[in-house]
Amino acid sequence: MEKIYLDHAATSPVHPEVLETTYETMKNFYGNASSIHGFGREARHLLDDARSVFAKSIGAKQSEIVITSGGTESDNTAVIETALSRESMGKHLITSKVEHHAILEPMEYLESLGFEVTYLPVDEFGQVDPELVQSAIRPDTTLVSIMYGNNEVGTLMNIAEIGAIVAETESYFHTDAVQAYGLEEIDVKRSQIDLLSVSAHKINGPKGVGFLYVSEAIHLPSFMRGGEQETKRRAGTENIPAIAGFKKAVEIMQAEKVQRKEAYNTLKQQVVSELTEAGIDFEVNGASENGLAHVLSLWIKEIPSDQLLMNLDLMGIAISAGSACTAGNIEPSHVLTAMYGENNPRVSQSVRVSFGLGTEPQMIHELVEKLVIVVNRLKK
């Protein structure tokens, strides 16, 4: 049985060219980038080249890129260090109810330290109303963190409009761009973004590496301590092979961005069309037409998402449930709950299909064929 992977929003396979770059770098460039000898200088050159590529991809300066271990560290650094370093200015933070847990849990941690957090609601499409952001900002607000694109339903936020609002205040504006990076055109200056998080493994790069954009106009202390790497902004010996692989992944995505986005939108339309033709009773969650091209959230009516997910897995197809399974415990999706309400059947009957490297139309056809079999079986 040939397995089909349709969960690219969770993580993506490493591109063959990225794999080769990472391996060759690990084999040939093993110096410490902080060392002053030739081996160290070679590693430093690779690091600087990668930083330049990362910066250019979002319209930033090379000096504004801090290499991290990925999206979680970038998010944690942006939220926690901003709050703690600006505590004397105020202890109020703003975010949304549909953020990734790498934002929500640091916010909860800060609440335990005495900070106050405003969690903004979203509409039925998963959008945060910029006017709500504006009305929530107070004199003691030090950070606004709103994600660029939602990982569960694919909703794109009005980042430029929110950025313009926050720019008129003393607050910093952070956005988690982990899902949007690589497919959306991101310009941190034009959108007036102060902090932005990115992870390599979402764009066919290695796991365990990412970056945090930190505007030169703001000061953010180092979250990691123990060395003076990253111009004293993030301690720890840089993972040069992973960073080189990340750079290659960015270069490939930049070159293929338009074609990939078109291909993913076509696949998304194929899923909807074939499910409709097959007579499956479903609805799309969120605004898929104006959302992330690679993410499609579906409400398969009257079918528990966990049962659908497990049955498809046994048939060799990997997708995600709209609810998270942890050690056998089903937790309702906080995103769908925020969009539709706690008792809405969508919360427990939704699945996410996400596309990426290697996804072909035939895979979608097989997904729908097997989904029809599972739905009919479960309804009986």
pLDDT averaged per 10 residues in sequence order, the chain, 380 residues? 93 98 95 85 93 98 96 97 97 98 98 98 97 98 98 97 98 98 97 98 98 94 75 81 98 97 97 97 88 97 95 96 53 93 95 97 97 91
Tally Cβ neighbours within 10 Å of residue 287.
16
For residue 187, what pLDDT is reported?
Answer: 98
Residue extent(s) of CATH 3.40.640.10 domains in the chain: 16-251
What CATH number does domain 4-12+257-379 carry, 3.40.50.1100, 3.30.70.260, 3.40.50.2000, 3.90.1150.10? 3.90.1150.10
Residue extent(s) of CATH 3.90.1150.10 domains in the chain: 4-12+257-379
For residue 222, what pLDDT is reported?
Answer: 79
Q: Topology of domain 16-251, per CATH?
A: Aspartate Aminotransferase; domain 2 (3.40.640)
For residue 329, what pLDDT is reported?
Answer: 55
- Based on the residue annotation, tell me whether 325 is a catalytic residue of this protein: yes
What pTM value is reported for the model? 0.95
Q: Which residues pair with 325 in a beta bridge?
A: 330
Q: From the candidates 325, 330, 372, 378, give the one annotated as an active-site residue.
A: 325
Under 8 Å between Cβ of 337 and 347: yes
Under 8 Å between Cβ of 6 and 320: no
Count helices and strands (H / E) in the chain: 12, 15
Torsion sign, CA atoms 289, 290, 296, 299: negative
For residue 326, what pLDDT is reported?
Answer: 44
For residue 224, what pLDDT is reported?
Answer: 75
